[in-house]
């Protein structure tokens, strides 16, 4: 019971640190920036709006002349569905909550994962906080998929190790569920790397079991890993089937090495210069691509200077725990992979299955931080148990302070001192805009000197007593001060815009409900992000999703091959000058629409009965046979019926759709019906919902004091 109370108390500490560190976001004083607002928010708005209208989010007609939304894994992420249900729809507030929720989940995951190793509470809390506010979580805040992957990573590893240690159905089910959550909500590349990590754990454990001739336990492991894999595949069936359905249609559907000129595997590498971010994350607030060699969202590898120093204090000791060295070594390996443009290691990994399907080697720094925090956890645990090691750590801390002082003395002549006064006279946001990397390093070095000096003073004057417990409290307090202050310094560079949530949300409360019927007279070019941005204060991209108007523009990581060809041939630009649907008399020899035969009075010859992203029903009355043109990207799952009879949907002008209509009155029904995906969606939803229900019921049985559960 005492241990349970301490766990609850520690979870509240994590929550409190998160609130203090990101209070502008928590209390609506600022809003998130870049891709989080321009890509994640509109897509989640569309997905959850479709679900609220009892429709599956299969086809999205509101950007880039339509694409199969179902193929994006995040479409099927249950957490986003739950957040939208909690907030009564997906909004900016929902986005903020989901981001903060995943930071918290990541911290809790590290806490419980390391707890399985029996580490001291100071190790659990410090590493959990270090992960929760690490360089990936803060530096890549706009890349919500990265944050989601990072949040579920420790839970995946934890349940995997549980199945290895004590194989049973409940642990296997938990492993399947968190793997599904990481796959559906996260970045695919990080999921692939996670699978390789689990494979490494499995091989090491298998060798150990075979050497010990513990065949019965080994067979039991295989059984429950097999059960877990089957459940995971059933849960993930809709994600996998929809993704494989989309893969041959988009430009990113093949290995990167085959198209190195477009999506090179080494794009977005972690540069050698970015190694300073382990100590100086504030330097990464300056988007100096000439210095970093990459966008500054790829440069932050911070997880806590004090935690890094604990590793260095223990790593080279003869009696250092093996886990400190092993996990640090694994972290170094991932660090080398992340430096893709500077070292060949990332290129070597592309020969492994699926490892050539994603860019941004810098994402590997997540796994560097993950294993470095493992190493830091064991190092801190070692220090908390050894008085001699703590004394040595104090001397090393004093040496670090001396090095930082010397560093600042060298930097002093190269910084513009008047800029520091502007922090107080004009404000912090102005300072980080005008300060250069030298000034940022100089300032952060000063903060580190003060914090480390504070720790030494606490120990000198025995502020928390001279016991081991007092040392732990002093360390944890100073570490929290360090990471919270550094988060404050960095948040407006990579997480937030300085604009209140209420002001930024202007325009979001007047959006149409349902699905308005698209205009049959206005050309597609009428509706674009540039023109529609005037309705919003903070939103810039994919705006037609909010107004529910089919359009030709928008940002997306998925580009249809057919659409790319239409752009190359000029057919795309030619046809978006017309409404989303119209009639034409004929095609030319290349199956392109003959624009000279387009009926300019098309709107007078049909009326639309029903429009939704997955369906279009209209009635026509034609003086002679015509081709009905629908300016949506062709997909094999689009079907058409004319007067109840199936008619072929023809790809025209490289990417659009057409159906031949007869003379006279007709009823045309366009439907997007990817039958395999629809079937898989019901399997997937029933599986993860059933798994959650099962886990809740069994948890309640255990809480009521039952010693045996027969589920």
pLDDT tens digit string along 635-693?
999 999 999 999 999 999 999 999 999 999 999 999 999 999 999 999 999 999 999 99
Q: What is the pLDDT of residues 359-407, one digit of tens each?
A: 899 999 999 999 999 999 999 999 999 999 999 999 999 999 999 999 9
Show the tokens assigned to 153.
């990573």
Q: What is the mean pLDDT of residues 131-136?
A: 98
Under 8 Å between Cβ of 556 and 249: no
**Model pLDDT, residue 266:** 87
**Model pLDDT, residue 466:** 84
CA atoms within 13 A on the CB side of 333: 11
Centroid of chain to Cα 594 = 44
Cα gap 23→27, rounded to integer Å: 6
Q: Kindly tell me if the per-residue pLDDT of 239 is higher than 50.
A: yes
Under 8 Å between Cβ of 358 and 189: yes
DSSP letters, 619-664, are EEEESS-EEEEE-S---TTEEEEETTEEE--EEETTTEEEEEE-SE
- In the chain, % helix, strand, coil (3-state, to 5) comes to 60, 10, 30
Sequence-ordered list of residues with C-beta below 8 angstroms from that of 347, at least 6 positions apart, any chain: 265, 266, 340
Centroid of chain to Cα 144 = 3
- Confidence tier at 704 by pLDDT (50, 70, 90): low
Which residue, 549, 544, 553, 575, is CA-closest to 656? 575
Q: What is the pLDDT of residues 55-97, one digit of tens each?
A: 999 999 999 999 999 999 999 999 999 999 999 999 999 999 9
Q: What is the mean pLDDT of residues 336-347?
A: 95
Q: What is the pLDDT of residues 527-576, one digit of tens each?
A: 999 999 989 989 999 999 999 999 999 999 999 999 999 999 999 999 99
Q: Kindly tell me if the per-residue pLDDT of 711 is higher than 70.
A: no
Q: What is the mean pLDDT of residues 157-183?
A: 97
Percent residues over pLDDT 90 in the chain: 91
**Model pLDDT, residue 4:** 79
**Model pLDDT, residue 708:** 40
Mean pLDDT of the chain: 94
Cα gap 160→163, rounded to integer Å: 5
Q: Kindly tell me if the per-residue pLDDT of 288 is higher than 60.
A: yes
CA atoms within 13 A on the CB side of 71: 23
Percent residues over pLDDT 70 in the chain: 97
Residues in the chain: 711
Q: What is the pLDDT of residues 253-272, one digit of tens each?
A: 655 444 444 346 788 999 99
Which residue, 388, 489, 476, 401, is CA-closest to 443? 489
Task: Give the least confident one: 98-102, 290-294, 654-658, 677-681.
Answer: 290-294
φ, ψ at 262 (rounded to 5°): -110, -55
Show the tokens assigned to 398.
């004093």
Q: What is the mean pLDDT of residues 295-305?
A: 96
Q: Kindly tell me if the per-residue pLDDT of 206 is higher than 60.
A: yes
Residues 686-695, buried b or exposed e (16+ Cβ, 10 A)?
A: ebbeebeeee
Cα gap 573→575, rounded to integer Å: 6
Sequence-ordered list of residues with C-beta below 8 angstroms from that of 383, at least 6 positions apart, any chain: 310, 313, 314, 389, 390, 393
């Amino acid at each position: 019971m005492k241990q349970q109370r301490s766990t609850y108390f520690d979870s509240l500490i994590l929550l409190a640190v998160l609130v203090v560190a990101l209070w502008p976001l928590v209390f609506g004083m600022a809003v998130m920036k870049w891709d989080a607002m321009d890509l994640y928010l509109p897509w989640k708005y569309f997905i959850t709006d479709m679900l609220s209208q009892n429709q599956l989010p299969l086809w999205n007609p509101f950007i880039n002349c339509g694409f199969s939304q179902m193929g994006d894994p995040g479409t099927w992420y249950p957490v986003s569905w739950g957040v939208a249900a909690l907030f009564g729809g997906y909004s900016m507030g929902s986005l903020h909550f989901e981001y903060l929720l995943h930071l918290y989940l990541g911290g809790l995951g590290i806490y419980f994962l390391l707890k399985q190793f029996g580490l001291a509470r100071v190790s659990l809390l410090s590493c959990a906080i270090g992960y929760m506010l690490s360089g990936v979580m803060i530096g890549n805040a706009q890349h919500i998929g990265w944050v989601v992957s990072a949040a579920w990573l420790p839970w995946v590893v934890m349940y995997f190790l549980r199945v290895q240690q004590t194989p049973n159905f409940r642990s296997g089910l938990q492993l399947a569920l968190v793997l599904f959550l990481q796959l559906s909500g996260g970045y695919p590349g990080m999921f692939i790397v996670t699978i390789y990590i689990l494979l490494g754990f499995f091989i090491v454990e298998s060798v150990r079991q075979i050497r010990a001739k513990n065949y019965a336990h080994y067979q039991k492991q295989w059984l429950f890993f097999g059960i877990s894999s089957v459940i995971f595949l059933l849960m993930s069936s809709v994600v996998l089937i929809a993704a494989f359905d989309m893969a041959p249609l988009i430009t990113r559907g093949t290995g990167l090495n085959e198209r190195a000129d477009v999506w090179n595997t080494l794009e977005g590498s972690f540069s050698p210069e970015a190694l300073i971010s382990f100590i100086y994350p504030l330097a990464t607030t300056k988007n100096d691509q000439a210095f970093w060699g990459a966008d500054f969202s790829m440069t932050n590898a911070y997880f806590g200077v004090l935690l890094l120093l604990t590793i260095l204090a223990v790593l080279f000791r003869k009696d250092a725990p093996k886990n400190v060295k092993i996990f640090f070594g694994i972290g170094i390996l991932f660090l080398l992979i992340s430096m893709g443009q500077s070292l060949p290691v990332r290129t070597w990994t592309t020969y492994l299955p699926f490892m050539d399907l994603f860019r941004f080697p810098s994402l590997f720094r997540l796994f560097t931080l993950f294993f470095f925090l493992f190493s830091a956890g064991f190092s801190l645990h070692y220090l908390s148990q050894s008085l001699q090691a703590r004394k040595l750590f104090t001397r090393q801390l004093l040496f670090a302070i001396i090095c930082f002082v010397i560093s600042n003395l060298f930097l002093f002549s190269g910084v513009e001192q008047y800029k520091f006064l502007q922090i107080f006279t004009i404000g912090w946001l102005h300072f980080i805009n005008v300060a250069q990397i030298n000034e940022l390093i100089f300032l952060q070095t000063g903060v580190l000197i003060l914090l480390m000096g504070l720790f030494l003073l606490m120990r000198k004057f025995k502020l928390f007593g001279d016991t081991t417990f007092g040392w732990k409290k002093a360390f944890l307090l100073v570490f929290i001060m360090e990471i919270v202050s550094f988060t404050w310094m960095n948040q407006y560079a990579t997480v937030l815009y300085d604009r209140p949530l209420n002001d930024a949300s202007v325009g979001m409360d007047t959006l149409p409900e349902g699905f308005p019927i698209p205009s049959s007279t206005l050309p597609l070019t009428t509706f674009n992000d540039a023109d529609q941005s005037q309705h919003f204060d903070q939103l810039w991209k994919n705006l037609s999703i909010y107004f529910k108007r089919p359009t030709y523009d928008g940002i997306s990581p998925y580009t249809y091959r057919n659409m790319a060809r239409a752009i190359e041939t000029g057919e795309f630009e030619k046809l978006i000058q017309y409404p989303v649907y119209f009639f034409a008399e004929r095609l030319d020899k290349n199956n392109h629409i003959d624009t000279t035969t387009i009926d300019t009075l098309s709107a007078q010859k049909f009326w639309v009965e029903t429009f939704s992203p997955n369906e279009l029903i209209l009635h026509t009355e034609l003086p002679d046979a015509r081709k009905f043109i629908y300016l949506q990207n062709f997909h094999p799952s689009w079907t058409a019926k004319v007067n109840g009879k199936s008619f072929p949907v023809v790809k025209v002008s490289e990417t659009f759709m057409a159906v031949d209509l007869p003379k006279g009155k007709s009823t045309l029904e366009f439907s997007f019906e990817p039958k395999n995906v629809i079937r898989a969606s019901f399997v997937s939803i029933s599986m993860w919902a059933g798994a959650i229900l099962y886990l809740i019921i069994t948890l309640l049985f255990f809480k009521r004091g039952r010693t045996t559960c027969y589920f």
